Amino acid sequence: MWRSFRSWPWVARWASYVAAGLVLVLVAASVTAVVVVRRSMPQTSGEQTLAGLDAEVQVLRDENGIAQIYADSTDDLMRAQGYVHAQDRFFEMDVRRHITAGRMAELFGEPALETDKFVRTMGWRRVAEQELALLESDTRAAMEAYSEGVNAYLGERSLSQLSLEYTVLGLTGLEYEPEEWTPVDSLAWLKAMAWDLRGNMEDEIARVLLAVNHPEQDVAALYPGYPYDRHAPIVRRGAVVDGRFEPDASGPGSRNPARPAYGAEVVEALEGLQRGLERMPELVGRGSGIGSNSWVVGPEHSATGQPLLANDPHLGTSLPGIWYQVGLHCTTVSAECPYDVSGFSFSGVPGVVIGHNQDIAWGFTNLGPDVTDLFLERVEDGKWLYDDRYRPLKVRTETIEVRDGEDFELTIRETDHGPLLSDVSAELSTVGANAEVTKAPDRGNGFAVALRWTALDPAPTADAILALNRAGDWDEFRAAAADFSVPAQNLVYADREGHIGYQAPGRVPIRKSGNDGTVPSAGWLPENDWSDRDVPFDALPMVLDPDEGFIVTANQAVVGRDYPYFLTDDWDSGYRAQRIRELIQAEADVSLDEMLELQLDDHNSLAEELVPYLLDIRLPRGYYSAGQELLADWDFRQGADSAAAAYFNVVWSNLLRLTFHDEIRESLWPDGGDRWWLAVTGLLREPAGTWWDDRRTSNIETRDQVLRTALMDARDELVRRQSLDPGDWSWGRLHRMDLRSQTLGESGVGAVEWLFNRDGYRIGGGGSIVNATSWDAAQGYEVTAAPSMRMVVSMADLDESRWVNLSGVSGHAFDDHFTDQTDLFVEGRTLAWPFSREAVDEAAEDTLTLVPSD
């Protein structure tokens, strides 16, 4: 899902844009600061007119500001949700729509231009505009009502009353009036979410760049195959039979088909794809830290006698957090008003994305199929080569407005494979220049690089969100999932009848024989194209009520090697999933509290394999051995107070640096995630392997020499960072979580950053651990991604369910609910999650009644 804005190039340069005098203005205004800050706080009690309502709507908020909305009709419910989202998060919503439209330069000037060019080239908003017409009429109506609610809030407040950020931007000279919200603004944000979960595009690039100066076997060692013998896939049984996935089938077979068999041309394409895969190594892992955990236990494993469902999506940290907790309740649930749902929503999008209704619960993790391909294109004189013939490029021009600068005219070029990202991306241009491909025509100054991506084809994903909210059983749940095109997700399911299930939805392309999706393909060869069919929804893996009584999804392989369709080779390596499985299997009956405790599990599976090697290394007694001695009695847990965890992770960072930095360009340095766990444990069994040698020296280094240096360097590093005494070391002092505003919090102006950031949370866990607080070994030990929320749903009593957000529901700095859940999150605590009207009424602290206008 969406990463922190720190990944966008303009943020690091924004400090040059903020006027130095801004700090002086803020200091001079300190007397009125309280008034300025509180001006944008929303009204949460009393009565407020909301134009367009048919009847009164009640918004009940608990002590954490979480809203439960009650209305008599769907239109009123969605209109009120738009109003409430705008109350708490409009600046965030406004920034999101500027991102997805490629219009950040309008707010932040020339430094944002590079990002805008990239997004405009992909055409996210153009696709969203096409998707609106594909939606069911009920979905469009809900989006229109939601937009009306947002706009009603905008219409009653000045810019400074909407957000403190607008006040600060105004001090820099920005003259701005927000546009009205539209359904396309909501749809476009789903493109941003899909981009963050797009699959293996980075791996395609990395493989090419690594191959420039490394033999194939050395590159393959860094992308080891999924360890099916040690880490179970999500669906452990079943096969595709006549185009439909049958959970109880032991292998391919035949029966009376539920749908027509595919034509010979599709079979031939699949056979060609399989032949291509046989020639390619199995490649695993993104190593980005972006993933998720979810699992569901059935009645036979649950202490409540009914299913328990847990979910914690792992996303880049930001302030406010990505999720907004909300309940949407029809006063009387009926066909005309079918919603009684509560969970986590996206600000700017109607409905609940993850949560439960009165009948079912569901959770998401990233399926991670390969839904992106890079195509090398031979371009000359406005034409591109395909099948021995040059064809005209599709060209359009867009104007990007630049604050305090001249408008930029962007020319966007496309082949049939997609937009030419190399026109706006230096990194992809490098890939094109260095790629070695067969049957290549003369490439001159290098190939252009086009992106083929399922999310650039319009699809009615928004239908799925509201359909999930209404679903009452397994069949309705699967029908909703069938519309969930991008990003492809693992969906876990539980219902109040005692059933549990799993469904893999999403558009997954079927490629022709020449393209396996692992490296950029030659765009001039027709055999590299995608076919005109996707993997059929009915053939995607699923299971209902598995024999073992539970289901675990944590981005691991979805299904075994025999599955006939290609989903991806770049699965997460399965350490988190296997740990969750083992802990569930160890318990006869899992309680709700044990589900919550499992989410906090900080056991490091890599340490189990690496520490024995580290303890075999002889170090000088005294100063250097004192660090190593911490590992001798370590239980491999990574609590914030652990000295051994601090030492181990610093050793791991130094081990990666010593092993790979001499041979890999800086942009590809290891981040230390799951793929590197699997790769290095494989290399450990080759003590004289080529990767251990340091190319910069005349000697030939071996594994044990690198391990010894890593142990000693880690000791020195921790003395510099923390203390001479190893007993004073702690993982949390290194592994800090900073929550930063995605825009002004990266301004470079200390006073402004102080307003919008909340830094310095000491937290345990780590990358590829169930408590997945990831860090990037190439950059430091600070948290780069974390569980963005945690929830456990009890189907026995929905009012017993628990939830917590990474930040809080409010996007207003200094609001009581800006970060009121963060301390709970860091400490591993959760909040009560009332659902029934009685429980909501009892928890309510404020009630706002929205009334129709005269």
Q: Is residue 370 a known part of a binding site? A: yes
Average pLDDT value for the chain: 87
Q: Residue 802: is its pLDDT beyond 70?
A: yes
The stretch 324-338 carries a mean pLDDT of: 97
The stretch 396-423 carries a mean pLDDT of: 93
Q: Which residues, 6 or more positions from 54, have their beta carbon under 8 angstroms from its beta carbon?
A: 72, 73, 75, 76, 852
- Output the 3-class SS for 230-293: CCCCCCCCCEEECCEEECCCCCCCCCCCCCCCCCHHHHHHHHHHHHHHHCCCCCCCCCCCCEEE
Mean pLDDT check: name the lowest of 180-184, 198-202, 385-389, 834-838: 198-202
Q: What is the pLDDT of residue 234?
A: 83
Mean pLDDT check: name the lowest of 64-73, 169-178, 507-516: 507-516
Most confident stretch, 508-517, 564-573, 842-851: 842-851
Last residue of a domain, one of 173, 197, 221: 197
Contact 435, 213 (CB under 8 A): no
Residue 110 maps to a domain: yes
Residue 716 maps to a domain: yes
Task: State the DSSP string of 473-527.
Answer: SHHHHHHHHTT--SS-EEEEEEETTS-EEEE--S--EEE-TT--SSS-EETT-GG
Q: Nearest Cα to 439, choosing from 524, 530, 312?
A: 524
Where in the sequence is the domain holding 677, given as residue range(s)? 605-635+644-729
pLDDT band (50, 70, 90) for residue 14: very low
The stretch 778-794 carries a mean pLDDT of: 96
Q: What is the pLDDT of residue 391?
A: 96
> What are the Cα distances from residue 837, in Å, to 58, 720, 841, 851?
12, 56, 6, 20
∠ CA 305-308-309, nearest 5°, is: 165
Q: Residue 385: is its pLDDT beyond 90?
A: yes
Last residue of a domain, one of 713, 729, 745: 729
Q: Which residues, 6 or more positions from 560, have their beta carbon under 8 angstroms from its beta carbon?
A: 228, 233, 236
- CA–CA gap between residue 448 and residue 374 (Å, rounded): 10
Q: What is the pLDDT of residue 33?
A: 62
Q: Which residues, 6 or more positions from 53, have their beta carbon under 8 angstroms from its beta carbon?
A: 76, 79, 80, 850, 851, 852, 853
The stretch 159-163 carries a mean pLDDT of: 92
Q: What is the pLDDT of residue 396?
A: 94
Specify burial of residue 699 (Cβ count, 10 A radius: 0-12, 13-18, 19+): exposed
Q: What is the pLDDT of residue 114?
A: 84
∠ CA 3-677-683, nearest 5°, is: 140
Residue 231 maps to a domain: no
Residue 261 maps to a domain: no
Q: Is 292 an annotated catalytic residue? A: yes
Residue 678 maps to a domain: yes
Q: What is the pLDDT of residue 421?
A: 85
- CA–CA gap between residue 49 and residue 57 (Å, rounded): 10
Contact 122, 456 (CB under 8 A): yes
Residue 88 maps to a domain: yes
pLDDT digit string (tens) for 169-210?
Answer: 888 888 899 999 999 999 998 888 887 676 667 777 777 778
Helix (H, G, I), strand (E, B) or coil at 778: coil
Q: Residue 654: is its pLDDT beyond 90?
A: yes
Q: Would you give the DSSP letter of residue 615?
A: H
Considering only residues 173 and 267, tell me which one the structure prediction assigns the higher pLDDT.
173
Q: Residue 701: is its pLDDT beyond 80?
A: yes
Q: Is residue 436 a known part of a binding site? A: no
Considering only residues 487 and 789, tell me which one the structure prediction assigns the higher pLDDT.
789
Q: Residue 75: is its pLDDT beyond 80?
A: yes
Q: What is the pLDDT of residue 291?
A: 79
**Residue 276: both structure tokens together:** 């291509």
Percent of the chain at pLDDT > 90 equals 68
CATH number, residue 709: 1.10.1400
Q: Residue 44: is its pLDDT beyond 80?
A: yes
The stretch 596-606 carries a mean pLDDT of: 97
Q: Nearest Cα to 168, choosing from 749, 727, 597, 688?
A: 749
Residue 139 maps to a domain: yes
Q: Is residue 185 a known part of a binding site? A: no
Q: Residue 273: is its pLDDT beyond 90?
A: no
pLDDT band (50, 70, 90) for residue 39: confident
- CA–CA gap between residue 143 and residue 325 (Å, rounded): 19
Strands of the 372-377 sheet, one edge to the other:
448-453, 372-377, 521-522
Q: What is the pLDDT of residue 15?
A: 46
pLDDT digit string (tens) for 411-467?
Answer: 999 999 999 988 886 555 555 555 555 454 554 455 788 999 999 999 999 999 999
Q: What is the pLDDT of residue 787?
A: 96
The terminus-to-terminus CA distance of the chain in angstroms comes to 42
Q: Would you give the DSSP letter of residue 348?
A: T
Residue 166 maps to a domain: yes
Q: Residue 253: is its pLDDT beyond 70?
A: no
Q: Residue 260: is its pLDDT beyond 70?
A: no
pLDDT digit string (tens) for 356-367?
Answer: 999 999 999 998
Mean pLDDT check: name the lowest of 34-48, 548-562, 656-670, 682-696: 34-48
Considering only residues 829 and 665, tell me which one the structure prediction assigns the higher pLDDT.
829
Q: Residue 623: is its pLDDT beyond 60?
A: yes
Mean pLDDT check: name the lowest of 282-286, 421-425, 805-809: 282-286
**Tally of domains within the chain:** 2
Q: What is the pLDDT of residue 426?
A: 53
CATH number, residue 135: 1.10.439.10
Helix (H, G, I), strand (E, B) or coil at 47: strand
pLDDT band (50, 70, 90) for residue 725: very high
Burial 364-402 (b: 16+ CB within 10 A, else e): bbbbbbbbbbbbbbbbeeeebbbeeeeeebeeeebebeb
The stretch 73-83 carries a mean pLDDT of: 98
Last residue of a domain, one of 729, 753, 775: 729
117 Cα distance to chain centroid = 23
Catalytic residue selected from 292, 347, 521, 531: 292
